[in-house]
């Protein structure tokens, strides 16, 4: 039997990249998946999930405000039933020199990267009403600091704090963990780096390459599964040893 058979997952920001890889991997492990997307409907992803014999709901919507977050969770419940796996993956990283940073951009980054996860986790836990569940949050290797992402670094450090605090607040029924990916082969780093810069940087990592979304996804599946039943409040850095370089 698949390790996540009978489970229902909600993955935010899953139209591409790490989010799409996590949605695909959860389905491969047996879960039905509600895929949140914003501006590019992932029809191929939905087809893949359904071809595995799993249910898939494509839920368009922003997570920029608390009412939108609550509406998204309600839509997932209506489409598939009450989720017992939540992956808070949606995030933005608009590069900006700190001296040019404005309040509206700060608020947008903190709202999507941190506040959305907090209030979606709240809606998730309320709906479970004491039943078991698992939350996987996406932090980042940028917790160490990024000179053109002060707002992003602040938000992703906030995710670490959110993970630890909600793990305490929701125990023992709901486990909450986080993944902090390093440089990964998605569109996100390409908004701020050229291909040559990505290659040069990844060559300095001990493993000698950029990460793959599927590698992040496999860790997410593990953390959502019963195999991680004694793990909560932890942050897993998956970055090819870049912190050693």
Helix, strand, or coil (residue 9): strand
CA angle at 204 for the pair 198 and 209, rounded to the nearest 5°: 60
Cα–Cα distance, 69 to 115 (Å, whole number):
10
The catalytically annotated residue of 37, 124, 152, 236 is 152
243 is catalytic: no
Cα–Cα distance, 235 to 73 (Å, whole number):
24
SS3 sequence of the chain? CCCCCCCEEEECCCCCHHHHHHHHHHHHCCCEEEEEECCCCCHHHHHHHHHCCCCEEEEECCCCCHHHHHHHHHHHHHHHCCCCEEEECCCCCCCCCHHHCCHHHHHHHHHHHHHHHHHHHHHHHHHHCCCCEEEEEECCHHHHCCCCCHHHHHHHHHHHHHHHHHHHHHCCCEEEEEEEECCECCCHHHHCCCHHHHHHHHCCCCCCCCECHHHHHHHHHHHHCHHHCCCCCCEEEECCCCCCC
Q: Which residues are catalytic?
A: 152
């Amino acid at each position: 039997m698949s390790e996540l058979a009978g489970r229902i997952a909600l993955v935010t920001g899953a139209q591409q990249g790490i989010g799409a890889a996590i949605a695909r991997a959860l389905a491969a492990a047996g879960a039905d998946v509600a895929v949140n997307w914003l501006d590019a409907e992932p029809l191929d992803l939905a087809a893949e999930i359904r071809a595995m014999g799993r249910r898939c709901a494509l839920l368009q919507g922003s997570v920029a405000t608390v009412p939108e977050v609550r509406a998204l969770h309600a839509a997932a419940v209506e489409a598939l039933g009450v989720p017992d796996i939540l992956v808070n993956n949606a995030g933005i990283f608009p590069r900006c020199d700190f001296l040019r940073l404005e309040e509206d951009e700060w608020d947008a980054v903190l709202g999507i990267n941190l506040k959305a996860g907090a209030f979606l986790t709240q809606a998730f836990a309320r709906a479970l009403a004491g039943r078991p569940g698992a939350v996987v949050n996406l932090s980042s290797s940028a917790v160490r600091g990024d000179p053109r992402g002060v707002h992003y670094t602040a938000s992703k450090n906030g995710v670490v704090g959110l993970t630890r605090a909600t793990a305490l607040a929701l125990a023992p029924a709901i486990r909450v963990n986080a993944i902090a990916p390093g440089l990964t082969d998605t569109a996100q780093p390409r908004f701020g780096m050229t291909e040559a810069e990505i290659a040069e940087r990844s060559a300095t990592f001990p493993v000698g390459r950029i990460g793959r979304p599927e590698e992040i996804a496999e860790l997410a599946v593990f953390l959502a599964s019963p195999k991680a039943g004694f793990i909560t409040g932890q942050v897993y850095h998956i970055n090819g040893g870049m912190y050693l370089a």
